[in-house]
């Protein structure tokens, strides 16, 4: 695999994706840290970033809480190889320019030797580039394309699924069980586009009939224009490639118009907060994709232990984005133990490659070739008016990780999705 260790990579994509936070970088290039940080003897400095303010603050708070829990658990058993973990975190505001300032603070001022976090795939690309230029191991918590093509880097590891994996998991289930005629509503930025690419490719493989797509801007509140086009297309399946407030608003307005009873709706990625906010509107005709749902506690002992501890400490179940952070943080410290060092980053990176563990689901691994966590993907169905408390959805399928990830060779070339022509 040709790995990135510096140079110009992904800036075009990042600038496109930075619309997530309404930000663009001023000036040229990702900053390079002239004077590297150095760990204090007996201390591991780990710094993370999360959106703790703004639209996605609930998801960012879950990431922060999960990281805190992982660090506390390791410190409670004596740290890593006898070294205490010191954790600091920053609010990246889901803004690309802010995130880069914060990561520079973590390294230059806080002297962090390892970094993690963020909810935005677009921002993770920029942090990954920064990490590789400065040779700092980085564990991303979000869905990200950073393991694909020239965005791959020696020091970056991704612990949420690749966007196309979410699309492959949900589309395969939909075409086999819900219908072949589909229409999509897609958030107009890189992540939404990546999901649509996955759906379109799978549709070609499984004989799907793509009826059309409408893009909407982030933060849209009125979906009436888009819903008119969807009703005219009359699909069997409506695919929603969006998240958060956008998804919540769209589902509520569709429910008001009775559309949730006329077609199946599949959210390529959904969230527990969306299920909660939609209430009865997120009914049995709506399905959503997730990497983790707290109901897994009834299937996996690791999930039960994790959820029991988390809910006792924070009072409610965790979102998938937080679970990703919990696993990423644990994997980083496991790699240190495996490498038998907390300071030799080259050995720690090497130990992370191919790392095997069982934490919150079944056995998983970090692929050595592209640094991607290989994990399963869930489909949940809303419980609508039967939802009670945090019992918001039923798990209807768990798709194995090895069935929704392309080969190392394909990922290195962004194949086959780079060949998809979006509408």
Read off the tokens for 20. 């997530």
d(CA 81, CA 302): 23
Read off the pLDDT of each residue in 233-238 and give the average, rounded to a whole number.
98
Q: Give yes or no for residue 242 having a pLDDT over 90.
A: yes
Q: Give yes or no for residue 256 having a pLDDT over 90.
A: yes
Q: What is the mean pLDDT of the chain?
A: 91
d(CA 67, CA 289): 23
pLDDT for 245: 87
Q: Please give the full DSSP string across 290-325, using - where no structure is assigned.
A: ES--GGGGGT-HHHHHHHHHHHHHHSSPPPHHHHHH
pLDDT for 392: 97
pLDDT for 56: 81
**Lowest-confidence region among 8-12, 213-217, 327-331, 388-392:** 8-12
Read off the pLDDT of each residue in 417-423 and give the average, rounded to a whole number.
95
pLDDT for 34: 44
Rounded to two decimals, the pTM is 0.90
pLDDT band at 40 (very low <50, low <70, confident <90, very high): low
- Alpha carbon of 26 to those of 29, 131, 155: distances in Å? 9, 19, 25
Beta-ladder partners of 287: 266, 381
pLDDT for 23: 35
pLDDT for 54: 81
pLDDT band at 246 (very low <50, low <70, confident <90, very high): very high
């Amino acid at each position: 695999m040709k790995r990135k260790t510096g140079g110009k990579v992904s800036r075009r994509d990042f600038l496109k994706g930075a619309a997530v936070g309404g930000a663009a970088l001023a000036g040229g290039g990702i900053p390079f840290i002239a004077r590297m940080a150095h760990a204090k003897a007996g201390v591991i400095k780990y710094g993370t970033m999360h959106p703790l303010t703004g639209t996605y603050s609930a998801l960012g708070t879950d990431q922060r809480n999960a990281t805190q829990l992982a660090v506390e658990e390791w410190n409670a058993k004596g740290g890593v190889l006898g070294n205490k973990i010191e954790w600091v975190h920053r609010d990246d505001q889901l803004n690309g320019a802010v995130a880069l300032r914060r990561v520079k603070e973590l390294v230059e001022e806080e002297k962090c030797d390892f970094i993690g976090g963020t909810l935005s795939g677009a921002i993770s690309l920029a942090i990954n580039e920064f990490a590789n230029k400065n040779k700092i191991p980085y564990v991303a918590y979000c869905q990200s394309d950073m393991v694909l093509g020239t965005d791959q880097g020696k020091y970056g590891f991704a612990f949420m699924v690749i966007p196309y994996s979410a699309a492959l998991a949900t589309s395969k289930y939909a075409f086999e069980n819900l219908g072949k005629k589909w229409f999509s509503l897609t958030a107009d930025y890189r992540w939404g586009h990546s999901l649509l690419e996955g759906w379109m490719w799978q549709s070609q493989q499984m004989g799907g009939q793509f009826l059309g797509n409408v893009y909407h801007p982030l933060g849209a509140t009125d979906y009436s224009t888009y819903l008119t086009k969807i009703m005219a297309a009359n699909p069997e399946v409506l695919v929603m490639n969006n998240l958060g407030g956008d998804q919540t608003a769209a589902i509520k307005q569709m429910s008001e118009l009775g559309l949730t009873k006329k077609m199946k709706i599949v959210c390529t990625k959904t969230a527990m907060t969306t299920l909660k906010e939609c209430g009865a509107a997120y009914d049995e005709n709506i399905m959503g994709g997730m990497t983790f749902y707290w109901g897994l506690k009834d299937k996996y002992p690791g999930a039960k232990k994790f959820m029991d501890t988390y809910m006792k400490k924070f009072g409610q179940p965790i979102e998938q984005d937080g679970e990703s952070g919990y696993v990423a943080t644990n994997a980083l410290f496991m790699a240190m133990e495996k490498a038998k060092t907390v300071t030799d980053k080259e050995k720690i990176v090497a130990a992370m490659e191919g790392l095997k563990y069982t934490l919150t689901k079944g056995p998983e691994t970090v692929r050595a070739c592209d640094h991607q966590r290989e994990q399963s993907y869930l489909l949940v169905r809303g419980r609508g008016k039967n939802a009670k408390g945090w019992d918001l959805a039923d798990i209807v399928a768990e798709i194995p990780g090895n069935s929704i990830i392309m080969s190392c060779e394909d990922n290195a070339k962004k194949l086959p999705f780079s060949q998809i022509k979006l509408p």
